[in-house]
Structure 1
Amino acid sequence: MSDAAGSAHSSVPCEQPHGSPVSHYGLSSPTLDAFDLPPAPASPTMTTPEAESRDRPERPQPARTASAEHDSLKYHLLGPSLTKAGQDTVDQTKVSEVIYNASKGSKFFNNEEVKDKNLTEKINKILAKRRQLEKIDLTSDQRRADDYIAELELSRDMSQVIVHLDCDAFYAAVEELDRPELKDVPFAVGKGVLTTCNYHARKFGCRSGMAGFVAMKLCPQLICVPMNFAKYMAKAEEVREVLAMYDPNFQSASCDEAYLNLTEYCQEHHMTPEEAVSQMRADVYEKAKITVSAGIAANAKLAKICSNKNKPNGQFLLPSDRQTIVEFMRTLPTRKVNGIGRVFERELDAIGVKTCGDIYAHRAYLAKLFGQKAFQFLMQCYLGLGRTIVKPAEDRERKSVGTETTFRELGDRDALRDKLRHVAEELEGDLKRTEYKGRTLCIKIKLHTYEVHTRQTTPPFAVNKADDLYRYSLPMLEKLMKEIPDLKLRLMGLRVTQIISTKKPGIDFFGRAAKTSSTSSKASTSKNEGTWETWPEEEFEEAAQQERNDEMNELEKLSQEQGHQEEERSAPEPQWQCPICSISQPPDDASFNAHIDFCLSKQTIREVVKSTAPSPEKQSIAPKPITKKGKRGRPKNEGSISEQQAREKRRAFFSLGNNN
């Protein structure tokens, strides 16, 4: 189902959510064809994907093609927020051209070009391996895939009401509360890289994760306001107070989105899921004065997808019916699934997997091409399965805690050590807040050429203090300084892994929290421990989030690089400021002397005295009043001002300015 379906009101946010759009999926959904349903597990013969998809309706091809040399790069440059709501009418081809031309020639562009080339080479290897696999009998692989599908179907849980709630253009909405005049104009929050765009700006192709100077090319009238995190966090807390009344154990996915399980609430209050969510959205608006959108489904994966269907200020319900869910996923582009980023999307697209429905036809190849975990994740996507456990983020098992910072090109050794100390202090704050310490310490740097290097070490004890973090990471930085001549950095980060909770009592000897079982996670068994494995979707979601974070960091550096280049291009030629009238003059001795001669003329002095009446302090800069004048108003017994005198006056003026 396309994003346009059920979102007729999505172009204009409503003032009150009571009358906001509410959509169902599948009220009159067609009967599924045979190829949409998993076959019997024991398939006697191998069926090729081509044969299985022969009778399928022809699907639209992606907008990008391989004909142009940089088509894949242009698509990649569209950014991490390509699937954000509010861009249905945007010509993404034109947007990609603007981004391509604006960033071409930059270090960021060169780095993206290298990454795109490397990905193309990787895809060529995948395709070569695919051609080899087509020559052998994969009957056993297909049988295992079918067995896994049957196993997954047995674990399908449709008894829960899972809701994903997402604030509409959150930062922008908060800014509009203080500046109502911004509601009807395109504006964004953030300067170097946009963190949020309102829906007026999105119509021009602007989106979060876009470099500010690129957005200005798409929408010259765009207004950019600086971020105010304290204000956003205060507003987010107001929203959370409402959510806690519906599910005390709701999970914050970020400051502006959350997962809730409303099963118990609906039962206790005798409400349908749609009624409960509509009421919750109204309560959020009444409390925080911002609108939110919601997706309602049987699991978290589906709810996340659905919350983007009826934005802004709407909700979308996917009925908890197997046939409806499979049909819904059949036409869903893979990129719409949380956990499939731009890289994985392109790899899947290369082998012909453009929608989740295409996954089934390629089931015999997926494990050999992408690995077992990717195979499991993709089969769950095809079936529309996901986790049904919703719990606070602090109760979820973490694997690492880290922080990193971007900055303008930095090469001074002492400055880099100071930066490392700053990062260590930031990480100490994060570890204190999350109540963890780590046994392994990793350092990450990104060169001015965008090349990434990482190193890790194992301190003699688990660390969480800035002094210890700095002490054990400094040798790694020093070694990198020696290994890389003329080291210049744009990013530095520290991360601890093998983390140990400093709060929870239920930690084993090695500091690992015991894994909890999920009603939906009984798909396979750990060979070593005999406990149920966690859903692989969480690992893919984390990887996709890291991909987005890396992209945001690189876009920030592009913005910094562009800003530095613009400063160099737009920096005016050094001007010599007249110490008498303070007007800047071209840096030419002859013309500057002529100007000072003019300023010292009798008529000019008279006008200055009349109009400005300089104070005694300012008179120290100008010539002292004289009673006798020679020709052209020059002080008697003095010739025209010399070049040396003019330069001395300039130096005096600039030294005064530097003290301010």
Structure 2
Amino acid sequence: MPRHNEDLAGEAQAAVDQAAAPAASQHHTLKYHLLGPSLTKSGQDGVDQKKVSEIIYNASKGSRYFNNEENKDRNLTVKINRILAKKRELERVEAQGGLKNDLRKADEYIAELELSRELDQVLVHMDCDAFYAAVEELDQPELRDVPFAVGKGVLTTCNYHARKFGCRSGMAGFVADKLCPGLIHIPLNFDKYTAKAKEVRTVLERYDPRFESASLDEAYLNVTAYCEEHDMSGEDVVSQMRAEVFEECKITISAGIAANAKLAKICSNINKPNGQFLLPSDRASILAFMRDLPTRKVNGVGRVFERELDAIGVKTCGDIYAQRQYLRGLFGEKAFEFLMSIHLGLGRTNVQPAEEHERKSVGTESTFHDMEDPTELREKLRWIADELEKDLERTQFKGRTLVLKVKLHSYEVFTRQFQPPKAVHKADDLYNFGLQMFEKIEKEIPGLKLRLMGLRCTHLVSMKKGERDFFGRSRQPSRGSGEPSEAPSPELDSEGWQKWPDEEFEAAARLEQQDEMEELERLSQQDQNPTIPSEDSERKAFEVRKHDNGFAWRLLLEEERAKEEAEARLKNPPPQQWDCPVCAVAQNADERAFNSHIDACLSRQTIKEIVHTVEPVAQVANPVMPPPLSTARRKRGRPPSGGGGAGEVGDKRARKAFFA
């Protein structure tokens, strides 16, 4: 029998009641949650993760961070119980003969995805091994045989000796010290790492000039053309590339080789450090590889999504297929598409420089000590608006929508958005509109105390000025065949490549990890230094966080490219051209030649040819129609529609053109 809404509401309430007082099993999930976002990092084999989780649990218990994580874990448990209740209802419907349409749609989508499978490309994901630590070892060789980490408040990375103790990136420094009492901490030196990254990029450019930097220490390459030109296999090309990086840069890299970017990234983590893994580019091998792969190994599946999938019985990518008829109803359309692509081992094959990817937003945020003074909070908002204006000016965008993000001292996050009357990019506008949203939050939450604030512009509008023609108008593309260009398919990007739903999930997982690191940093500061940090130290920390992630690496690449293009224009300025106002074809900026060209376009013979070409089309487009039968009153002096009977058609003469 179909179940009523009251039954489902009862199950949902039972789930809430069950989660209200966490049981031992919930403490187990909390301990797993506290292990951090980088649990899948290499070098963790053989580590007793249960022991690590106990140390983290006991070290952070009682802190505001712990209380917030416990609250998030409790809320996630409630959400999972509701998902399970919904799944039970779907299973009952299926048992009664329902869900056939959902199953059919899922199978049709899988068949459609299979048609898009590409197996002729050689994609490589390159990842430097413990990059920051490797760079530090070049300056301090004595560190090679001892466990050490880069970063004090939160570990940015650590060498493989430290990883044997359970230390890893994204871990609070004081927790790492308890896992490895002799751990050495090295402060960050971002300039040093950037310089070394540029050396590595110089080598990568030889194999794919349009490689894509995913972050400071990892990149995607399409070496298909290189393999064909040099008659080499992908495996041999990558071995050669890794050897050149080590010889010239003195650091090791690991790599994955596969038919698409998603698989290549997974493969690059298999034989770390200083190794590579090739996944054969055939459908059977790919499906077999994905069948036993834990979902957490896939880029874009974070800890929250992993727990939700695990709850419904999806532990590996091979488990997805059996649940395909439920996924839309449980997680939505985008998640369904993402999971289907994971199951099939499909992903993008286009690789392009990171700075060429379409921007969807530009934002700035800052973490600071707990702040509740209204004046200080407004000063912080003003500073963030100034920083955002700099980023918008550099990227040449303005936003139609402004988003304010705040994090309370209790770690709760709130966002508000506002659409100004016009797109904004100036600090004054950003501050004033941001202040309106902030004041509303102040009214909603009395005694507001914050530890993070940020502004972000979305629905971006480019401020780049196009080239101008001789008459000062925006230069238009040259006319071709005259056929209207078709609007791009929603399934394709600007270059005609198929879009995948991975981007949103990967970005969400990356932001989740970044947020975790910031929270851990604050926890570490509270443990080691209970005094309030100075404004200078907070600004330095902001600058480090601003550059120490994949998004910020893109900013550096954009700045670098803009500088190179400016220098190139100074050395070799492009020849100036003017567009002909008649034919719109660009001409060299020579007055005499340009005037001669215009005279030719306006010549009598040219006009005659245009008239003779257009006239037959005009006659077909406006056929003579018989007079209407209606006797309705018409304006005096106006002939009936059609200009007379059919007999008049033969008497009509073509009008001569004015220039004829």
Measured after TM superposition, the shift of residue 564 of structure 1 is 4.3
Q: What letter corresponds to residue 34 of structure 2 in structure 1?
A: L
Higher alpha-carbon deviation: 75-84 or 179-188 = 179-188
Measured after TM superposition, the shift of residue 563 of structure 1 is 3.0
Match of 2:300 among 315, 339, 362: 339
Higher alpha-carbon deviation: 372-381 or 418-427 = 418-427
Over residues 519-554 of structure 1, what are the superposed CA-to-partner deviations in whole Å (9 max), with x where a residue is unaligned? xx67xxx9xx9x987211111111111211221222
Aligned mates of 1:469, 1:451 — CA distance in 2: 24
Aligned mates of 2:497, 2:126 — CA distance in 1: 29
Aligned to 1:390: 351
Match of 1:415 among 367, 376, 380: 376
2:350–2:497 CA contact under 8 A, matched in 1: no
Runs (4+) off by over 4 Å: 504-507, 514-518, 564-568
1:406–1:556 CA contact under 8 A, matched in 2: no
Measured after TM superposition, the shift of residue 413 of structure 1 is 2.2
2:26–2:74 CA contact under 8 A, matched in 1: no
Aligned mates of 2:487, 2:254 — CA distance in 1: 32
Measured after TM superposition, the shift of residue 140 of structure 1 is 2.0
Measured after TM superposition, the shift of residue 382 of structure 1 is 0.7
Q: Does 1:233 align with 2:194?
A: yes
Q: How does 1:127-276 map to 2 (within 5 A)?
A: 127-136=84-93, 137-276=98-237
Aligned to 1:76: 33
Q: What letter corresponds to residue 314 of structure 2 in structure 1?
A: V
Measured after TM superposition, the shift of residue 516 of structure 1 is 7.0
* Residues 265 and 472 of structure 1, relative CA distance in 2, 3 Å threshold: same
Aligned to 1:609: none
* Residues 567 and 446 of structure 1, relative CA distance in 2, 3 Å threshold: closer
Aligned mates of 2:407, 2:532 — CA distance in 1: 23
Q: What letter corresponds to residue 462 of structure 2 in structure 1?
A: S
Q: How does 1:239-638 map to 2 (within 5 A)?
A: 239-503=200-464, 534-565=499-530
Q: Residue 81 of structure 1 aligns to a residue in which SS? A: coil
Aligned mates of 1:304, 1:109 — CA distance in 2: 32
* Residues 246 and 516 of structure 1, relative CA distance in 2, 3 Å threshold: farther
Measured after TM superposition, the shift of residue 318 of structure 1 is 0.4
* Residues 373 and 343 of structure 1, relative CA distance in 2, 3 Å threshold: same
**Uncovered stretches (5+) of structure 1, i.e. residues with no partner:** 1-64, 508-513, 569-660
Higher alpha-carbon deviation: 261-270 or 276-285 = 276-285
Aligned to 1:126: 83
Q: Does 1:100 align with 2:57?
A: yes
Identical-pair percentage: 70
Over residues 358-409 of structure 1, what are the superposed CA-to-partner deviations in whole Å (9 max), with x where a residue is unaligned? 0011111111111111111111111100000111112212211112111111
Over residues 164-191 of structure 1, what are the superposed CA-to-partner deviations in whole Å (9 max), with x where a residue is unaligned? 0111111111111111111111111111
1:213–1:559 CA contact under 8 A, matched in 2: yes
Q: Residue 185 of structure 2 aligns to a residue in which SS? A: strand
Q: What letter corresponds to residue 243 of structure 1 in structure 2?
A: L
Aligned to 1:113: 70
Measured after TM superposition, the shift of residue 244 of structure 1 is 1.4
Aligned mates of 2:339, 2:459 — CA distance in 1: 28
- Number of residue pairs aligned between Structure 1 and Structure 2: 490
* Residues 287 and 436 of structure 1, relative CA distance in 2, 3 Å threshold: farther
Instruction: Report the TM-score, using the length of structure 1 for normalisation.
Output: 0.71
Aligned to 1:578: none
Aligned mates of 1:126, 1:504 — CA distance in 2: 50
1:108–1:450 CA contact under 8 A, matched in 2: yes
**Uncovered stretches (5+) of structure 2, i.e. residues with no partner:** 1-21, 468-473, 475-485, 534-660
* Residues 504 and 321 of structure 1, relative CA distance in 2, 3 Å threshold: farther
Q: What letter corresponds to residue 440 of structure 1 in structure 2?
A: T
Over residues 455-504 of structure 1, what are the superposed CA-to-partner deviations in whole Å (9 max), with x where a residue is unaligned? 22222332223333223212322333343222221111111100123348
Q: Residue 441 of structure 1 aligns to a residue in which SS? A: strand
Over residues 23-58 of structure 1, what are the superposed CA-to-partner deviations in whole Å (9 max), with x where a residue is unaligned? xxxxxxxxxxxxxxxxxxxxxxxxxxxxxxxxxxxx
Q: What letter corresponds to residue 184 of structure 1 in structure 2?
A: D
Measured after TM superposition, the shift of residue 66 of structure 1 is 8.0
Aligned to 1:639: none
Over residues 221-256 of structure 1, what are the superposed CA-to-partner deviations in whole Å (9 max), with x where a residue is unaligned? 111111111111111111112111211111111111
Q: Residue 25 of structure 2 aligns to a residue in which SS? A: coil
Over residues 289-346 of structure 1, what are the superposed CA-to-partner deviations in whole Å (9 max), with x where a residue is unaligned? 2111110000000000000001111111101011000000000000000010000000
1:66–1:72 CA contact under 8 A, matched in 2: no
Q: What letter corresponds to residue 401 of structure 2 in structure 1?
A: T
Q: What letter corresponds to residue 197 of structure 1 in structure 2?
A: C
Aligned mates of 1:432, 1:98 — CA distance in 2: 46
1:397–1:515 CA contact under 8 A, matched in 2: no
Aligned mates of 1:240, 1:138 — CA distance in 2: 51
1:189–1:227 CA contact under 8 A, matched in 2: yes
* Residues 186 and 566 of structure 1, relative CA distance in 2, 3 Å threshold: farther
Aligned mates of 1:285, 1:432 — CA distance in 2: 38
Instruction: Report the TM-score, using the length of structure 2 for normalisation.
Output: 0.71
* Residues 566 and 431 of structure 1, relative CA distance in 2, 3 Å threshold: closer
Measured after TM superposition, the shift of residue 67 of structure 1 is 5.0
Over residues 564-587 of structure 1, what are the superposed CA-to-partner deviations in whole Å (9 max), with x where a residue is unaligned? 44999xxxxxxxxxxxxxxxxxxx
Higher alpha-carbon deviation: 464-473 or 166-175 = 464-473
2:348–2:499 CA contact under 8 A, matched in 1: no
* Residues 505 and 315 of structure 1, relative CA distance in 2, 3 Å threshold: farther
Q: What letter corresponds to residue 177 of structure 1 in structure 2?
A: L
Aligned mates of 1:465, 1:223 — CA distance in 2: 45
1:99–1:214 CA contact under 8 A, matched in 2: yes
1:408–1:560 CA contact under 8 A, matched in 2: no
Over residues 243-282 of structure 1, what are the superposed CA-to-partner deviations in whole Å (9 max), with x where a residue is unaligned? 1121111111111111110000111111110111111112
Q: Residue 248 of structure 1 aligns to a residue in which SS? A: coil
* Residues 195 and 532 of structure 1, relative CA distance in 2, 3 Å threshold: closer
1:394–1:434 CA contact under 8 A, matched in 2: no
Q: What letter corresponds to residue 225 of structure 1 in structure 2?
A: I
Over residues 121-141 of structure 1, what are the superposed CA-to-partner deviations in whole Å (9 max), with x where a residue is unaligned? 000000000100111122221
* Residues 429 and 168 of structure 1, relative CA distance in 2, 3 Å threshold: farther
Measured after TM superposition, the shift of residue 286 of structure 1 is 2.4
Superposed CA RMSD: 2.4
